[in-house]
């Protein structure tokens, strides 16, 4: 297994809803973990290690406001692909983890999908406004 020193996470922000890419250096995850924040300035999650030394993610929950622990793949710093991360109690997608290049591709796909979704919403909203005005 080839260990890299850097892997990536793409995480949804519980406050602004954006999904952003975070580079994670293996050496930056110290005893107190590594805090990740969104470009909106809010705290997204903390990368930490559990009692068995496995990497995990702790972040505020979009749904219940509590903090949940999500395990990262055991080979987080050695994987070449990307995996989906779920917030276990709610089975909700919170983002992706994996090799930087693979996560970047996934993120671009997500952002394209989000753009399409927003475009549809904007159209619907415009339609509704039009109806109100007439």
Question: Which stretches of the chain bind Zn ion, using CB under 5 A?
Answer: 13, 15-16, 38, 40, 42, 61, 63-64
Cα 56 from Cα 14, distance rounded (Å):
18
Query: How near is the Cβ of 101 to Zn ion at its closest, in Å?
Result: 24
Of the pair 15, 75, the CB lying nearest Zn ion is at: 15
Closest CA to 99 of 120, 121, 116, 75: 75
Of the pair 53, 65, the CB lying nearest Zn ion is at: 65
- SS3 of 118, please? helix
Of the pair 11, 102, the CB lying nearest Zn ion is at: 11
Query: How near is the Cβ of 4 to Zn ion at its closest, in Å?
Result: 27
Q: Note whether 82 and 109 are within 8 A (CB).
A: no
Query: How near is the Cβ of 108 to Zn ion at its closest, in Å?
Result: 19
Of the pair 15, 100, the CB lying nearest Zn ion is at: 15
| Terminal Cα-to-Cα distance of the chain (whole angstroms) | 65
Buried b (16+ CB within 10 A) or exposed e, 18-43: ebbbbebeeeebeeebbebebeeeee
């Amino acid at each position: 297994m080839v260990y890299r020193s850097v892997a990536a996470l793409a995480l949804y922000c519980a406050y602004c809803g954006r999904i952003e890419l975070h580079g994670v250096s293996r050496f930056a995850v110290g005893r107190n973990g590594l805090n990740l924040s969104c470009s909106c300035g809010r705290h997204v999650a903390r990368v930490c290690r559990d009692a068995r030394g496995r990497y995990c993610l702790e972040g505020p929950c979009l749904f219940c406001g509590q903090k949940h622990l999500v395990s990262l793949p055991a080979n987080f710093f050695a994987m070449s692909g990307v995996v989906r991360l779920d917030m276990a109690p709610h089975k909700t997608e919170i983002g992706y983890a994996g090799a930087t290049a693979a996560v970047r591709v996934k993120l671009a796909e997500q952002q394209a999908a989000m753009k399409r979704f927003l475009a549809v919403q904007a159209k619907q909203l415009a339609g509704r406004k039009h109806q109100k005005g007439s």
